[in-house]
Each structure stands twice: as C-alpha cells, then as structure tokens.
Amino acid sequence: MQISHEDAHNLIQLKADNAITANRQEMLDQHLSTCTECMAHAHEIESIENILRSTMQKHWNRSAPPLQFSVIKGKISFIQDAHRLLATRSLVASVVIIVLGFAVWQFRSPGSSLPNPIFLSVPPIPTPSLQLTNTQQKEMICESIQYHVRQGDTLESIARQFAISPQEIIDTNTLQAGSINEQTELTILLCDQTPIGTTHPPTFTITPFTETITYTPG
C-alpha cells in the first residue's frame, strides 16, 4: 500500500515517540526504501532526537555543587546587618519626633508668641423635663354566648361573625385539630376592657450643674 509524503512524515513522528504500530512500521519501511526525501527527513528527526537525548542526559547527570558554609554565614550576616540598620533608623526617627514635640511645646509655653491664656468653658446644657404619661387602668369584662354550629359554618366564618380570632374559639372549646361538626355547641367569649381609673405619675425636672473652667498652658 502506497502512502503520501505527509503520511510518511506523520509515521516518522510516531516512530520517534515510540507510538507506531507494527503494521504502520511496515508501511513506513516500504515507503522509505523508495523515497529518498522521506528517508532524509527520518534521519534528520533521528539526529535531532539523539542530540536532545544527549543534552538532557548531561544536564540530569550534573550534580549541584555543595553549598559552602562561608556563603551561608555571609547571607546571615547580611540579614542581621539589615535588621540592625532598620532598628537604627527607627530609633533616629523616634528621637526626631520627640525633639520636634518638645520644641513645639516650648514654643507654646508662657513667654512665647502666644502669651494670652486659653479660656475653656463648658456650655450650658439645656434642662430636660422628664414627665411620665398618665396610666389608665382597665378591667376585662367577658360575656359567654352559646352558639350551635350550622351547616356551612367554619371556624373562620364564626370568628368573623363575633369579631374574634379562630384561635380564641379553639382555646375556649379545647377543639382538636381545629375541626367542628354540625350541631356542635360552641362557647363564645366576648370580652371588653372598661376603664376604672387613671393614675397620674409625679413630674420632676433634672437640672445639671454648669461650671466654667479657665485653662492656661504651662
């Protein structure tokens, strides 16, 4: 079976990758025996592969030189010197800040260009008035009504009829699962709050103490 030059080049690459089958190897050998161009390409690929293999083998066989103790000691000394230099700079900066602060304090002390005293005063605080609201006492008055459940009644419709919640009907009659049956007699509690008196709490006022402070630096 004849193959093209392109197919031969692909088979040569597969051979270099050790991924060619025996059948394709036979086809490639037959083509190379009659095609000098493909044969030259195969030799070129093989030569490049040998050079790469030799170079990589030399690189892998090269062992790293031992690290000398003097080199390690020199790096440690460099790091320590850098730390000492940083600490010295921080100390100098702190001293400069302290000196500047002291100079500013001396400049603002008595006898300097600001001889006038500084008057600090606490502004008057408004006097709040605390007054509690009136409390109205109420008494709960309830009225009990007996209601017979009729056809089509539900807890919601009965509750709307008496302006109460369905849960109040369930709690009053200890109903199970909130279900009712026709001709069931329910007890309806209608409660109202009636005022019985009003409590008037005392009114008092809190007045804070105000003081004026005069401050002179120095």
> Three-state SS string across the chain, please?
CCCCHHHHHHHHHHHHCCCCCHHHHHHHHHHHCCCHHHHHHHHHHHHHHHHHHHHHHHHHHCCCCCCCHHHHHHHHHHHHHHHHHHHHHHHHHHHHHHHHHHHHHHHCCCCCCCCCCEEEECCCCCCCEEECCCEEEEEEEEEEEEEECCCCCCHHHHHHHHCCCHHHHHHHHCCCCCCCCCCCEEEEEEEEEEEEEEECCCEEECCCCCCEEEECCC
Our count of domains for the chain comes to 2
Whether residue 205 lies inside any domain: the answer is no
Instruction: Report pLDDT digits (tens) over 37-70.
Output: 888 888 888 888 888 888 888 777 665 555 566 6
Q: Which of 2-6, 58-62, 82-86 is the least confident region?
A: 58-62
pTM of the model: 0.28
Asked whether residue 38 is domain-assigned, the answer is yes
The rounded mean pLDDT for the chain is: 76
186, part of any domain: yes
- Asked whether the predicted pLDDT for residue 24 surpasses 60, the reply is yes
Q: What is the CATH number of the domain that holds 143?
A: 3.10.350.10
Residue 50 inside a domain? The answer is yes
Residue 46 lies in a domain: yes
Last residue of a domain, one of 61, 82, 108: 61
Residue 32 domain-assigned? Answer: yes
Residue 156 lies in a domain: yes
In a domain, 151, yes or no: yes
The whole-number pLDDT of residue 160 equals: 92
The domain of 189 spans 133-199
Residue that is last in its domain, among 61, 78, 105: 61
